[in-house]
Amino acid sequence: MINPHGSDQLNPLYVQDDPAREALMAEAQTLPSLLLNSAAAANAVMLGAGYFNPLTGYMNLEDAMSVSETMRTSDGLFWPVPVINLVESTTVKPGDRIALRDPNVEGEPVMAIMHVTAIETVSDEEIQRMAGCIFGTQEPNHPGVSTFTSLGKTLLSGPIEVLSFSYFASDFPDTFQTAYDIRAEIEQRGWNKVVAFQTRNPMHLAHEELCRMAMERLEADGCIVHMLLGKLKAGDIPADVRDACIRKMVDVYFPPNSVMVSGYGFDMLYAGPREAVLHAVFRQNMGATHLIVGRDHAGVGEFYGPFDAQTIFDSEVPAGALEIEIFKADHTAWSKKLGRVVMMNEAPDHDKEDFILLSGTKVREMLSEGIAPPPEFSRPEVAEILMAHYQSENA
């Protein structure tokens, strides 16, 4: 199986030994508390689950700036996006052990214990520099920039011991998996070459066919449809609806033991190219050998070029920095001429009118009115689930 990033073995920060975890949970009740923001809580989940291997906790300012500007930590580890814990203010001191509390679960339960090694003030200029590097823009109307610049100016760094996966394990018991869970399942299935497909949306026919194309061209043993379960921007489809759509598609249209449906607990960054590289890092950690990177991967609005998330792997990711390989895909759509889904760049004799292309706005309007998109765009079983969701939203 492919090695995890930066180490020979995966080192998840979740305390798996039950007595040890219970002892730490008891200790946490005696410690000073810090209520995390959603971004820092998502980082804790990813650290605990092994997706952010080989990191041992939250980065300090030197590493955060270095990663933002060079995609390497100060000691040379390749890493594309800072993993940090920013707060508005705190009375915590360096050297303290503190209980990190979950902002996304009622009662704000403890989700980790942190040994605070440093507390640093981040200047407005440093926040803006990091944002510009991570997102490629400092525009405040970019949803990722808006979130990042509002997290606070006090940075707490240090190792953590994770005691909870927040609401992901309870709300999505059949879907949420850690990186080590997925590695174990890949081994159990006997897969060697494994393609990962990232999604924050329900999968239409074009996405389904893209997974099939990648598996066939790479002669892969299987595909992992790996969906984001955390926070999105307003208007995006909730995770439980996406989950139902994807499972229905896989159950009906893929052979047994060819596709795993899984999910991870993280908030969408909308960082385009940088986020695509982060996706590659943690898909390597979960055991995938290939990641599909398509048009406008992890993008938002008009902030990135359609293929910026592909070219970054050629222009900015050093050779040998990652073992996982990228399957580059163009936009896929139904060809009226050929009667099947194709990558649009592989159909040079086609005009735009030769494809069935529907905007997201048009699809939402149709679903809201109880009109199923054409079968060349969406599987009818999937459209039925989406229509029920939109009609309940509008009821």
Active site residues: 200-201
3-class DSSP string for the chain: CCCCCCCCCCCCCECCCHHHHHHHHHHHCCCCEEECCHHHHHHHHHHHCCCCCCCCEECCHHHHHHHHHHCECCCCCECCCCCCCEECCCCCCCCCEEEEECCCCCCCCEEEEEECCEEEECCHHHHHHHHHHHHCCCCCCCHHHHHHCCCCCEEEEEEEEECCCCCHHHHCCCCECCHHHHHHHHHHHCCCCEEEEEECCCCCHHHHHHHHHHHHHHCCCEEEEEEECCCCCCCCCCHHHHHHHHHHHHHHHCCCCCEEEEEECCCCCCCCHHHHHHHHHHHHHCCCCEEEECCCCCCCCCCCCCCHHHHHHHHCCCCCCCCCEEEECCCEEEECCCCEEEEHHHCCCCCHHHEECCCHHHHHHHHHCCCCCCCCCCCHHHHHHHHHHHHHHHC
